[in-house]
Amino acid sequence: MASEPNSVLDCRALGFSYFGGGGSIPVLHALDLQLAPGERVAIVGESGSGKSTLLHLAAGLERPTSGSVRLNGVDLGTLDERERTLRRRREVGIVFQAFHLIPTLTAAENVALPLELAGLALGREARTRGHSELAGVGLADKADRYSEQLSGGEQQRVAIARALVHRPRLILADEPTGNLDSNTGEAVFRLLLARVEAAGSALLMVTHSDALAARLDRTVRMVDGRLLDHPSRAAVGTER
C-alpha cells in the first residue's frame, strides 16, 4: 500500500514480537498509523499495552516483525543499522520520561550533542545553537550547569531543547511529564507544545493522561498491542 502523501510517519500493518526460548511473544498487531506534517497525536493506554514499543519502531530503534514504518517517505526496514541511526539523528527528536541527560556534560553541551552526532554542526556553531535553544526553553542562565544541579523540571526542559535543536520533522515523547509533579508537569507540557509548534514538527506522544491527550490534535488508544479507535481531530479552539 502506498504511503500517504507528505506523511511524516506512516505505519502500515505494523507488527512486532519478541523471540525467546519459549517462542514468540507478540506485542503489536497489524497497526496502521499516519502523522501529517505538524500534526500532534497522543497514544493512550495502560502500561504494557505496547505504546513505548511503537515509539521505538517509529524511531528505528527496533525493526518490525511485520509491516512497515516509513519516516518522511523512507521505509526504515530497507536501511541498515548505520543508515537508520543517521536518519534518526537528523529527522527525529526524542523526549524521555527519565530525561536521560548525560551527567558529565553541561546543559548546553547536552543540547548541542545531537547536532554534532548528526554532523549538522560542530564546535562553536553547535555550542551557539545549543545556547540559543536553551534560551528558547527559558534556561539561558543555566547553560553551564550539570544535570545534578538542575531540578527535574529544568532537566526536562533541557531534554526538550535537545530534542528540537536540529529541527526534526518528528518528535517522539514518552510520558514527558511522568516524573514531574502536577504543576511542573503542566508547565513542561505547555512548553513542549509551544516549542514543537515553533519548530513545525509533528508530535507523537505517549501518555496515561486522557486530559493531556485531549489537548492534542488527535488521540489513538492502544489496548493489548492494538489500536482500537481513531477519534477525530480535536475541535479548533481546544485549550492547549
Where are the domains positioned within the chain?
Answer: 9-229
Which residue in the block uniquely carries the three cell numbers 505547555? 190
Give the separation between CA 52 and CA 47, rounded to whole angstroms. 9
Contact 25, 225 (CB under 8 A): no
90, 118 in Cβ contact below 8 A?
yes
Instruction: Dump pLDDT digits (tens) for 111-131.
Output: 999 999 999 988 889 999 999
What integer pLDDT is reported at residue 5 of this predicted model?
56
User: Percent of the chain scored above 70 by pLDDT?
Assistant: 93
* Per-residue model confidence as pLDDT tens digits over 172-203: 999 999 889 999 999 999 999 999 999 999 99
Those residues whose C-beta lies under 8 Å from the C-beta of residue 98, and which sit 6 or more positions away, are 179
Rounded to an integer, the average pLDDT of 34-58 is 92
How would you classify the pairing of strands 170-174 and 202-207? parallel
Residue % of the chain over a pLDDT of 90? 75
Cβ atoms of 149 and 181 closer than 8 Å: no
Return the C-alpha torsion angle 193, 169, 128, 122, nearest 10.
Answer: 150
Third-level CATH fold of 9-229: Rossmann fold (3.40.50)
In this predicted structure, what is the pLDDT of residue 121? 87
| Average pLDDT rounded to a whole number, residues 44-63 | 91
